[in-house]
Structure 1
Amino acid sequence: MSSDDRPGPRFRFAPSPTGIFHVGGARSALHNWALAHRHGGTFVLRIEDTDAARNEATWIDGIVDALAWIGISADDERFEGPFMQSAGAAAHGEAADRLFASGAAYYCDLSPEQVRERAEANGTTGYDGHSRDRGLGPGPGRVLRFRVPEGSTVVSDAVRGEVVFDNATIEDFVLVRGDGSPVFVLANVVDDIGSRITDVVRGEEHLPNTPKQQMLWEALGHSPPRWAHVPVLVNAERKKLSKRRDKVALEQYRDDGILADAMVNYLMTLGWTMPGSEEAGSEIYSFDEMLERFSLDHVTSSPAFFDIDKLLAFNGEHIRRLSADELVAACDPWLPADWDRDRFAAIAPHVQQRLTTLADAPGWVDFLFLDDPEIDDQAWSKTMSTEYARGVLADSISAYEAAEWRHEVLKETMEREVMAAHGLKLGKAQAPVRVAVTGRTVGPPLFEALEVMGRDEALRRMRAALLLLDDRDDRTGRADEVGGGSGD
């Protein structure tokens, strides 16, 4: 069976290639993809590229790549496209001619300036229907306008119920510009009809355009699709997400180390509640789980807060779900090229619980790949100034010279031969060793890090730290001798 003959509902995602891929667009794409899968339908990707002045081919590639990253793949049998809106120019023109011939549209020779002048003179706003009954035909500079009927337009929305629009508030809108190019509303409807779209699921911001589109569907002799307008995404100030003000580029989150699974999970839950999630006490799900259960019945009409902190929390949870091999592969793009991948693979599981993004990984383990640790002065001062630091280091060196080099043994050795001797708990006893070998007080579990580092390098760093302590003490003592005295 060819894709054109496939039964079931047909959904579409129709972005414009005019810049970054917005997270709101990604959510709409996911909703359509989930519905197509659940209901045995088709997902149609159409690139609305008729705005030649703003379009760039690289952005088209970016859309396809971004969709593939979140699991919407052209390799799937339910995927059709991408189709270019510009390829439908002939169909757009034919539809305009039909609307004019049927009387549903008429030509108007008023310029935008004249429309404004008439509105100001009449004390109104917008176009006043001046050319409705003038009987004008096509001509240079003339626009084609839709003849909005009297009464009201009722949009049946799967999320918002029946939304009633008073047609008196909708001016006779332009379908074809004076240069002969179709306006978005006409091209959009003609393309949807041509693609046999049955369901239009998109963001709430498109709702005001819907009565115009529904009128066009009906004027062209077709029943309108099922409409669904999902809630707008807002920031912490409850303002609509804006690419000028907010971090909204899907590609940026990907480059910052957000897992695709986490992004999908989070976007799907913005405005939708997974059935049973409240009882389960979790919002963390796989894409397959959500594909099986997504429905518009559980989508709210209230604005959805795009909370970056919550996205990071989702990401951390999904990182912890990765197997060891998956974690290493996922982190690889963020690792310096010269790092030993086997060594990273050995330490990676020990920092998995601490990662918020994949990009965090190098910062947790970089000390393993340096000739010498980068000393955090504050960590050194706080830890090595204690009265027990020198003794702990010296005893650890002695104890570890002959110990079996496994993390379990290293921990037991410290507990038996260092903690008891100095009357310290494990946290304080291991602190000087941690600073000596890593340069800081926070990092992966110490004994696992020592095992990966190896005996020779770990002992070398501990001895170097002990020498540094002696050297600093000597210099402090000499300074005291030179600068001693009570003064006047």
Structure 2
Amino acid sequence: MPERSVVTRIAPSPTGMMHIGTARTALYNWLYARHTGGKFLLRIEDTDRERSTAEAVEVIFEGLKWLGLEPDEPPVFQVARAERHRQAADELLARGGAYRDYMTPEELEAERELARAEGRVVRSPWRDRAPNNAPDRPFVVRLKCPLDGETLIDDQVKGPVRFENRNLDDLILLRTDGTPTYNLAVVVDDHDMGVTHVIRGDDHLNNAARQTLIYQGLGWDAPVWAHLPMIHGPDGKKLSKRHGAQAVSEFADLGYLPEAMRNYLAKLGWGHGDDEIFSDAQAMAWFDVRDVVSAPARLDWDKLNHLNNHYIRQADPQRLTELVVGILKSRDWRLKSTDKAVLERTVPLVREGAKTLLDLADAVVFVLKTRPLELPEKARGLLGEETLGRLDRLRQDLSGAPAWEVPPLEARIRAFAEREGVGIGKFGPALRMVLAGGSPAPDLASALVSLGRDESLARIADALSLAR
């Protein structure tokens, strides 16, 4: 095949959620197009009119947009190309690569039973009959497969895969109502879109043999094939609901960042040495579909959480704040006009241990509480007379702090503990409880900075007043 600029595509069916396997397939197509300086296209395979919905189409658009994998050209809708598919079937008929099959349902069932008994595929008696002897009744158009030899799929992931032609049935190209079937539509659309590399799940490997024969029948060059292994759950079994999230939207709702998902999905079946964390630019430079492994990948939540934590720590704080605000609003938090500034100050101080955006949202709740805080029973047990006295002295000491920043406050708290002749553990847990009201909170200095000078001192004063 002459050298052509690389064109890849993702071709999901709009019949439900956008599965994580589809997302990885989209990512690999996108990466390979970027790696080679080619194009990444989108086709919506919506010929199943009973199951295809506008809502599911929107799920695909939103999922790709969230992942940052938007196509280089407007999407192609397969259903709108039915007439072009019929034209291709007519061309195959004219070339002798297809035939009209007039078998009735009863005749077809009888042939199927005979084929099963003889251990062969179905062959229609109309395969070699002259078309001028055709009856006046409905017919399908079938591909006329070779009866001997083999069809070779030189797969970029699986290696050479051979199919004996005698085991390939004469698949239907057009149904009795004239609508095209999947294999015909895919071949025609990929050809017309200029697709050079078909990178998809290995559940389509058998289709590659049949589609190759359609390409040959039409005199077209077949694309380069690359069939990706499936994604399994941690237990090595097919990914299902029992393993947790499966859809792209579910991972978004669970608080994963798209850049973390791109990094993680890239590693599910491909890698670059020992590199675990890499940028999009590095992935584009390194990725080659020929380096994808043929064994199924396993979803590993610990690795995903590790990556997500890395990207949360690297992300722009203002962006994280906007995302956290969205989560809080979804939880029916009524945020005041001043809360966003407080959150922007808090997010960088609490994100270190956040595995997800949901964790991050949990970690900022303490700054949003309104005074006076209701202290849990555990706090009252920590607030004995000695501790209350110490907190009162600490409050007075902190009020004189010239800089309300983490390093000087850390030093001030340590110096206070030394003057008191105790470890920070003697009053630290009580101080954290007083500042956060029992909610998760960061280290003491970070909690103080998050709250601000006035709010911090007021919360300590409230606790002293309530406990005495």
Common fold: TM-score over 0.5:
yes
- Matched residue type, 2:226: A
Q: Could you report, residue by residue, the CA deviation over 1:187-209 in whole angstroms, capped at 9, with x for unpaired residues?
A: 10011111222111111111121
Report the secondary structure of 1:52's partner residue. coil
Q: Indicate how the Cα distance of structure 1 residues 133 and 391 shifts in structure 2: closer, same or farther if over 3 A, else same.
A: same
Aligned counterpart in structure 2 of residue 452 of structure 1, from 450, 453, 459: 450
Report the secondary structure of 2:46's partner residue. coil
Instruction: Identify the residue that residue 61 of structure 1 maps to in structure 2.
Output: 58
Q: Indicate how the Cα distance of structure 1 residues 373 and 449 shifts in structure 2: closer, same or farther if over 3 A, else same.
A: farther
Q: Indicate how the Cα distance of structure 1 residues 10 and 138 shifts in structure 2: closer, same or farther if over 3 A, else same.
A: farther
Instruction: Identify the residue that residue 219 of structure 2 maps to in structure 1.
Output: 221
After the TM superposition, which of the residue ranges 336-345 and 288-297 deviates more from structure 2?
336-345
Residue pairs, 1:120-139, within 5 angstroms: 120=113, 123=117, 128-131=122-125, 132-135=127-130, 137=134
**CA contact 2:89–2:174 (8 Å) conserved in 1:** yes
Q: Indicate how the Cα distance of structure 1 residues 411 and 181 shifts in structure 2: closer, same or farther if over 3 A, else same.
A: same
- How far 1:16 moved relative to its partner? 1.3
Residue pairs, 1:289-304, within 5 angstroms: 289-304=282-297
Q: Could you report, residue by residue, the CA deviation over 1:349-407 in whole angstroms, capped at 9, with x for unpaired residues?
A: 111212212232221121211114766747536x6177853343233234334444624
- Matched residue type, 1:316: N
How far, CA to CA, are the matches of 2:185 and 2:326 in structure 1? 41
Number of aligned residues: 454
How far, CA to CA, are the matches of 2:280 and 2:462 in structure 1? 50
**CA contact 1:202–1:230 (8 Å) conserved in 2:** yes
Instruction: Identify the residue that residue 33 of structure 2 maps to in structure 1.
Output: 36
Instruction: Identify the residue that residue 230 of structure 1 maps to in structure 2.
Output: 228
How far, CA to CA, are the matches of 1:435 and 1:123 in structure 2? 77
- Matched residue type, 2:57: I
- Matched residue type, 2:9: R
- Matched residue type, 1:67: L
How far, CA to CA, are the matches of 1:227 and 1:378 in structure 2? 65
**CA contact 1:202–1:228 (8 Å) conserved in 2:** yes
**CA contact 1:116–1:126 (8 Å) conserved in 2:** no
Residue pairs, 1:381-400, within 5 angstroms: 384=382, 389-400=387-398
How far, CA to CA, are the matches of 1:130 and 1:181 in structure 2? 20
- Give the aligned CA root-mean-square deviation in angstroms: 2.7
After the TM superposition, which of the residue ranges 16-25 and 457-466 deviates more from structure 2?
457-466
- Matched residue type, 1:345: E
Instruction: Identify the residue that residue 341 of structure 1 maps to in structure 2.
Output: 340
Instruction: Identify the residue that residue 94 of structure 2 maps to in structure 1.
Output: 101
Q: Indicate how the Cα distance of structure 1 residues 99 and 303 shifts in structure 2: closer, same or farther if over 3 A, else same.
A: same
How far, CA to CA, are the matches of 1:138 and 1:420 in structure 2? 105
How far, CA to CA, are the matches of 2:251 and 2:105 in structure 1? 42
- Matched residue type, 2:285: E
- How far 1:171 moved relative to its partner? 1.9
Instruction: Identify the residue that residue 474 of structure 1 maps to in structure 2.
Output: none
Q: Indicate how the Cα distance of structure 1 residues 186 and 376 shifts in structure 2: closer, same or farther if over 3 A, else same.
A: farther
Q: Indicate how the Cα distance of structure 1 residues 385 and 111 shifts in structure 2: closer, same or farther if over 3 A, else same.
A: farther
How far, CA to CA, are the matches of 1:153 and 1:228 in structure 2? 16
- How far 1:12 moved relative to its partner? 1.7
Aligned counterpart in structure 2 of residue 47 of structure 1, from 41, 44, 51: 44
How far, CA to CA, are the matches of 1:31 and 1:178 in structure 2? 37
Instruction: Identify the residue that residue 325 of structure 1 maps to in structure 2.
Output: 318
Aligned counterpart in structure 1 of residue 437 of structure 2, from 433, 436, 439: 439
How far, CA to CA, are the matches of 2:276 and 2:442 in structure 1? 28
Instruction: Identify the residue that residue 156 of structure 1 maps to in structure 2.
Output: 154
Instruction: Identify the residue that residue 195 of structure 2 maps to in structure 1.
Output: 197
Instruction: Identify the residue that residue 257 of structure 1 maps to in structure 2.
Output: 255
Instruction: Identify the residue that residue 14 of structure 1 maps to in structure 2.
Output: 11
- Matched residue type, 2:152: V
How far, CA to CA, are the matches of 2:19 and 2:80 in structure 1? 24
Report the secondary structure of 1:154's partner residue. strand
Report the secondary structure of 1:81's partner residue. coil
Report the secondary structure of 1:80's partner residue. coil
**CA contact 1:115–1:126 (8 Å) conserved in 2:** no
Report the secondary structure of 2:441's partner residue. coil
Q: Indicate how the Cα distance of structure 1 residues 379 and 105 shifts in structure 2: closer, same or farther if over 3 A, else same.
A: farther
**CA contact 1:404–1:410 (8 Å) conserved in 2:** no
How far, CA to CA, are the matches of 2:41 and 2:444 in structure 1? 52
Q: Indicate how the Cα distance of structure 1 residues 112 and 467 shifts in structure 2: closer, same or farther if over 3 A, else same.
A: farther
Listed as ranges, the gaps of 5+ residues in structure 2 are: none
Aligned counterpart in structure 2 of residue 305 of structure 1, from 289, 298, 307: 298
Q: Indicate how the Cα distance of structure 1 residues 98 and 245 shifts in structure 2: closer, same or farther if over 3 A, else same.
A: farther
**CA contact 1:45–1:82 (8 Å) conserved in 2:** yes
Instruction: Identify the residue that residue 267 of structure 1 maps to in structure 2.
Output: 265
Listed as ranges, the gaps of 5+ residues in structure 1 are: 1-5, 471-488
Q: Indicate how the Cα distance of structure 1 residues 113 and 220 shifts in structure 2: closer, same or farther if over 3 A, else same.
A: same
Q: Indicate how the Cα distance of structure 1 residues 373 and 19 shifts in structure 2: closer, same or farther if over 3 A, else same.
A: farther
Q: Indicate how the Cα distance of structure 1 residues 45 and 126 shifts in structure 2: closer, same or farther if over 3 A, else same.
A: farther
Q: Indicate how the Cα distance of structure 1 residues 403 and 9 shifts in structure 2: closer, same or farther if over 3 A, else same.
A: closer
TM-score (norm 2): 0.88
Q: Percent identity?
A: 35
1:287 corresponds to 2:285: no
Q: Indicate how the Cα distance of structure 1 residues 225 and 373 shifts in structure 2: closer, same or farther if over 3 A, else same.
A: farther
TM-score (norm 1): 0.85
- How far 1:115 moved relative to its partner? 3.5
Q: Indicate how the Cα distance of structure 1 residues 428 and 171 shifts in structure 2: closer, same or farther if over 3 A, else same.
A: farther
Instruction: Identify the residue that residue 414 of structure 1 maps to in structure 2.
Output: 413
**CA contact 1:392–1:418 (8 Å) conserved in 2:** no
Flag as ranges the 4+ runs of structure 1 deviating above 6 A: none
- Matched residue type, 1:352: R
Q: Indicate how the Cα distance of structure 1 residues 144 and 464 shifts in structure 2: closer, same or farther if over 3 A, else same.
A: same
After the TM superposition, which of the residue ranges 174-183 and 445-454 deviates more from structure 2?
445-454
- Matched residue type, 1:454: G
How far, CA to CA, are the matches of 2:93 and 2:233 in structure 1? 44
